[in-house]
Structure 1
Amino acid sequence: MSKKPPDMAWVEELQPELTAYCYRMLGCVFDAEDAVQDTMLRAWKGWDSFRNESSPKTWIYRIATNVCLDKVRGSKRRVIPIDFSEPVSTVRVPTETLPLTDWIWPVPDNMIDPVDVTIRKDTIRLAFIAALQTLPPRQRAVLILQDVYRWSASHTARVLETSIASVNSALQRARRTLNRANLKSEALNDVDAEVNQGLIDRYVDAFERSDIDALIELFHEDGSISMPPFVMWISGRANLAAFYELTRSHCAGSRLLPTRVNGIVALAQYARGQSNEQLAPWGIHVPEIRDNRINHVHTFIHPAIYSRLGLPTKLDITI
């Protein structure tokens, strides 16, 4: 006789934690959402296979890990623009894009475990997510479970259905790979521990007023911006000024609303579109701040992120 499927509410309670885990594994909030839903479905359908040989949480993580391994098998590594190419030498309007599946996308704070936003926030930062994607998938899982979640080697081995020796070996290889990765985004790990709200307020004010001089003053001399899915990224104050001037007409009249992704403050830009009465979602600005100046701004141009953040789909234009 098969077991009666249980009340799966305890699995649903793990959803924010599983979302953060799958996001680290996959580098994309949309893939993480799909992976968590697939995990819960497999858990429901596969309850008969759970014979109490491990804890329910271990069993769920085993399913989630297998789902993620299936998703990344044969796929390209997701990146952020500064790890994909060199900054442009000549500023121009960006045209070249890569498929959405090639890029790392941010995860809203409201979708993940609050512990990840507070205690483990360094391991949800975009630079760390980019570094994780350099690892082979099973090594990635081992490093996340042991170095992020602090699980024991024996616990991790049960999740991956392998030996403790194999887990320890995979962890050592993963750490060596991260140390050798030499990604440009590693520089974004050196960020201020606390948000300078005054700096964020000045950024919003300068951007909304299209005051390019005031905006550029907020950046380091070697500050930069990127705009996935566009490949192009820009570095240096002079180039930034040229780019903001080039795109002034597009951004004029925009509004920035505060939000949070990857454990840090972000700003949702609404820009003028075809309507003369409403502003439409354009991109999520994620400022990386070092020594009270902006080091880099990721602008993620993917309107689907807005719904995950609980943001409005349009704003009325106010005169």
Structure 2
Amino acid sequence: MLASFEEADDAVQETFLRAWRHQERFEPGTNPRAWLYRIATNVCLDAIRKHDRRPPSEQEVTWLQPYPDHLLDRAAPSDEQPDAVVVARETIELAYLTAIQLLPPKQRAVLLLRDVLDWSAAETAELLELSVASANSALQRARATLRSARPAEPQAPDESERRLLAQLIDAHERADIEAAVALLRADIRVTMPPLPQVYLGVDAFLGLLDRAFNSGMGEWRLVPTSANRTPAAASYLRAPGDDRFRAFKLDVVRMAGGKVAEFTTFGPGFFERFGLPAVLLES
């Protein structure tokens, strides 16, 4: 709903606080999971209204934040719990989270309740205080928007992704522009939330590579990791005169057709959440 690690964490806390404060409203025989989802959905809708966020143009979501996979693994439901689909890859990838931010809040809620949580139309309508017809109409509009906004190509197999990430890291550490470009799709796309910059195409990306490799910034070391069920690389830079590699950026990578289709680049402030050190002690 929120596409932000920090805001989602706050929303979880607020959900449990509201549940505790209003526990007398919980009626015996009520499904506690449904009751909590109702509260959580309202918490998210309140947060969206508070920030006055409107569907962004060109899918630029400046509040987008990555979610560490190790936290998803820790929170993954057991086999006895029916909501394992919640952490399915296609519903947690940044491309999906970005696309659903284009939806008005209630359409977003309907889509997640129906297509991610697999709620019925009647259950969804009741939670959002809509008619079933209105809920179904909202779902149809949301699906249509999502189809036009999401990348159409399927993801590469996981093993292929790992190999491609390793090649990308190798090219970056060797400052090999030619090798790096060979791994990219012609329509490569780079965004850097919370900054509004967008770089489209190999020619635009070449400027970024040239600055990283040829401007005297220093030497690079990259550590593979994963975010939102997709590959990621944590970049460390050893500036001239420094004896340590220091946290610089985190790239979440979308791959399609055996090549890199998109980088979503975040600052070093996320390293701690990913269990990554601020400094590498390599000489």
Within the candidate set 64, 67, 90, 1:122 is matched to: 90
Larger mean Cα displacement after TM superposition, 279-288 or 160-169? 160-169
Go from structure 1 to structure 2 and tell me whether the alpha carbon gap of 1:236 and 1:178 turns closer, same or farther (over 3 Å shift).
Answer: closer
**Alignment partners' CA distance in 2, 1:189 and 1:105:** 23
Cross-structure match for 1:76 = 53
> Which amino acid letter does the alignment assign opposite residue 183 of structure 2?
L
Partner Cα separation in structure 2 for residue 210 and residue 47 of structure 1: 58
Q: Is the CA contact (8 Å cut-off) linking 1:270 and 1:282 kept in structure 2?
A: yes
| Alignment map for 1:155-234 (pairs within 5 Å) | 155-179=123-147, 182-183=148-149, 186-187=150-151, 189-196=153-160, 197-234=162-199
Q: Which amino acid aligns with 2:28?
A: N
**Cα offset, 1:170, TM superposition:** 2.5
8 Å CA contact 1:284, 1:300 repeated in 2: yes
Rate the CA distance shift 1:310–1:205 in 2: closer, same or farther, 3 A. Answer: same
Partner residue, 2:259: 293
C-alpha displacement of 1:132: 0.8
Q: Where does residue 200 of structure 2 map in the other structure?
A: 235
CA contact (8 A) 2:223 2:233 kept: yes
Aligned counterparts of 1:49 and 1:57: Cα–Cα separation in 2: 14
Q: Which amino acid aligns with 2:151?
A: A
**Of 205-214 and 303-312, the range deviating more from structure 2:** 303-312
Distance 1:28 1:51, change over 3 A: same
The answer on 1:41 being equivalent to 2:6 is no
Give the corresponding residue for 2:71.
111
1:245–1:116 CA distance, 2 compared to 1 (3 A): farther
Distance 1:222 1:241 in 2: 12
Is contact 1:77–1:102 with CA below 8 Å preserved after alignment?
no
Q: Identity of aligned pairs, percent?
A: 38
Look up the SS of the partner of 2:158 in the other structure: coil
Amino acid at match of 2:99: A
Aligned-residue offset at 1:274: 9.4
Worse-matched range after superposition: 156-165 or 124-133: 156-165
Contact 1:267 1:285 in 2 (8 A): yes
C-alpha contact (below 8 Å) 2:236/2:246 kept by paired residues: yes
Task: Decide which of 236, 254, 265 is 1:270's aligned counterpart.
Answer: 236
Shift of 1:195: 4.2
User: Does the C-alpha gap of structure 1 residues 123 and 153 become closer, same or farther in structure 2, counting only changes over 3 Å?
Assistant: same
Counterpart in 1 of 2:273? 308
Checking the alignment, whether the CA contact within 8 Å between 1:79 and 1:130 is kept in structure 2 is no
Is the contact made by 2:62 and 2:193 (CA closer than 8 Å) also made in structure 1? no
Q: Write the letter of the residue equivalent to 2:69.
A: D
Change (3 A) 1:211 1:226: same
Which of these residues, 219, 236, 246, is aligned with residue 280 of structure 1? Answer: 246
CA RMSD of aligned residues (A): 2.6
SS at match of 1:200: helix
CA separation in 1, counterparts of 2:95 and 2:170? Answer: 27
Instruction: Give the match's secondary structure for 2:189.
Output: strand
Structure 1 residues 102 and 237, CA gap change in structure 2 (3 angstroms): closer
Question: What is the CA–CA distance in structure 2 between the aligned matches of 1:52 and 1:158, rounded to whole Å?
Answer: 18
Contact 2:218 2:239 in 1 (8 A): no
Q: 1:9 is matched with which residue?
A: none
Would you say 1:60 and 2:30 are equivalent positions?
Answer: no
Partner Cα distance (1:242, 1:127) in 2: 24
Q: How far has the Cα of 1:222 moved from its partner?
A: 2.8
Measure, in 2, the Cα distance between the counterparts of 1:210 and 1:163. Answer: 58
2:80 maps to what in 1? Answer: none
Q: TM-score, structure 1 length as denominator?
A: 0.76
Unaligned segments of structure 2, at least 5 residues: 77-83
Aligned to 1:178, what secondary structure does the other structure show? helix
Shift of 1:71: 0.2
Aligned residue number for residue 11 of structure 1: none
The secondary structure found in structure 2 opposite 1:288 is: strand
3-state secondary structure, aligned to 1:254? strand
Equivalent residues of 2:86, 2:117 under 8 A apart:
no
